Amino acid sequence: MVIPTFNERRNVQPLRDRLDRTLQGVSWQAVFVDDDSPDRTWEEVRRLAAEDPRIHCLRRVGRRGLAGAVMEGALSSSGALVAVIDADLQHDEQLLIPMLAALRKGEADLVMASRRLDQPGETAGLSPFRRALSRIANRATAWVTKRDLSDPLSGFFMMRQAEFDRLAPKLSPRGFKILFDILATSRGGLRVIELPFTFTPRVAGESKFDQRVVADYTALALSKISRDLFSPRAVMFGLVGVSGIFVHLAVMRATLGFGFTLAQLLGAATAMTSNYLLNNVLTYRGRSRTGWRLLGGYMKFVALCALGLAANVGAATLVRSLGVPWWASAAAGAVVGAAWNFLSTATAVWG
């Protein structure tokens, strides 16, 4: 069992007790993967591990992220089967028994627990906003994974360890949606069974789901649609760039009274700043710069983007001189500039 935790101190022992009760007669072990929680969840896990040899603690420092935590936990286990379950008791652990039975009978390669999104009463643990979001994401997911599953964003599933090991190098450690990634990456290669369950509200602690999770999911889905041509990080950088166009135009519109050239300058400067700040929190979450380093990174970002602008104009001029239409030449220049901005800032600013 892989159990990702972040500030779940009070849920650790109750979960262990529930697993103990439910999995009588099954040989199991659980690895709690804790991202150095401020509430010191890992300490509580260590305390339990000292008295219960089935419990293991993997404390990660300097890293944050649900998908990556699940990946490392799953890669550290050596059973025939691996299950992922939330630590907060929102997942009904009794479902592990039918999951196990289905895999043992060879009926499937992966069994997932699906929240019944169509029945509001069955997902009391989800806000209306989250429920709507899940539905939209489900449609997109059905398209990317070429399967019609009722809850591909579920965080509760069991699969063969060997299958996980095979897929692991192609999975993205960023983001929240490891099951989605597994389904999208296997491209219909896994036989999947869904078991419905009731997603109960949290008792202790709070959810880590936020707007950034939505952004991460969008980047991962687009990356999969591009068949991995663009990494989720490159997609995110691109999305931030597109947002910059809107910022630029909005600022220009508001400042046109100062004259076109000044408005263009203000628009470009604001867009560059918002691009930098958004990339810092979204694209490079986990390595975000803060304090004085935020300012230093900004200087580098601006300098590199200025070079990117020169590369953009240079490339566009070159392509144009070959007789290519002006708009295609401009687009080629933009692609060169964006690629430069992404690759150079990835190492120089956030490396």
Contacts with ligand GDD by CB under 6 A lie at 4-6, 8, 33-35, 64-66, 69, 86-88, 90, 134, 153, 155, 176-177, 207-209
Nearer to ligand GDD, 1 or 319 (CB): 1
Measure the CA–CA gap between 193 and 135, rounded to whole angstroms: 19
- Closest CB 182 distance from ligand GDD, rounded Å: 12
Nearer to Mn ion, 126 or 183 (CB): 126
Choices 39-47, 87-95, 306-314, 325-333 (CB under 5 A): range interacting with Mn ion: 87-95
In 3D space, the residue among 45, 243, 213 whose CA is nearest the CA of residue 133 turns out to be 213
- Select from ligand GDD, Mn ion, none the partner in contact with residue 131, using the beta carbon and a kind-dependent cut-off of 5 to 8 Å: none
- Is residue 93 involved in binding Mn ion (CB under 5 A)? no
Nearer to ligand GDD, 64 or 300 (CB): 64
Asked if residue 294 lies in contact with residue 326, where contact means CB atoms within 8 angstroms, the answer is no
Nearer to ligand GDD, 66 or 235 (CB): 66
Q: How distant is the alpha carbon of residue 67 from its chain centre?
A: 6
Residue with tokens 């009070």, as numbered in its chain: 10
- Is residue 138 involved in binding Mn ion (CB under 5 A)? no
- Closest CB 140 distance from ligand GDD, rounded Å: 13
Choices 81-89, 160-168, 247-255, 265-273 (CB under 5 A): range interacting with Mn ion: 81-89
- Bridge partners (DSSP) of residue 33 are 4, 58
Nearer to ligand GDD, 192 or 316 (CB): 192
Nearer to ligand GDD, 57 or 234 (CB): 57
Nearer to Mn ion, 199 or 284 (CB): 199
- Select from ligand GDD, Mn ion, none the partner in contact with residue 87, using the beta carbon and a kind-dependent cut-off of 5 to 8 Å: ligand GDD
Choices 47-55, 57-65, 80-88, 224-232 (CB under 5 A): range interacting with Mn ion: 80-88
Give, in order, the Cα–Cα distances in Å from 338 to each of 1, 29, 238, 312, 324. 42, 47, 8, 8, 20
- Is residue 88 involved in binding Mn ion (CB under 5 A)? yes
SS3 assignment, position 196:
strand
- Is residue 181 involved in binding Mn ion (CB under 5 A)? no
- Bridge partners (DSSP) of residue 31 are 2, 56
Which positions from 15 through 44 interact with Mn ion, judged by CB under 5 A?
Answer: none
How many residues are present in the chain?
351
- Select from Mn ion, ligand GDD, none the partner in contact with residue 33, using the beta carbon and a kind-dependent cut-off of 5 to 8 Å: ligand GDD
Nearest residue to ligand GDD on Cβ basis: 155
Contacts of 12 (CB under 8 A, 6+ apart): 5, 32, 41, 44, 45, 48, 87
Give, in order, the Cα–Cα distances in Å from 324 to each of 312, 315, 330, 332. 15, 12, 10, 10
Q: Where are the beta strands (DSSP E) in 119-245?
A: 157-160, 192-197
- Is residue 90 involved in binding Mn ion (CB under 5 A)? yes
CB atoms within 10 A of CB 39: 15
Rg, Å, the chain Cα set: 23
- Closest CB 282 distance from ligand GDD, rounded Å: 15
- Select from Mn ion, ligand GDD, none the partner in contact with residue 237, using the beta carbon and a kind-dependent cut-off of 5 to 8 Å: none
Q: What are phi and psi of 158, to 5 degrees?
A: -140, 140
Which residues sit at the interface with Mn ion, rule CB under 5 A?
88, 90
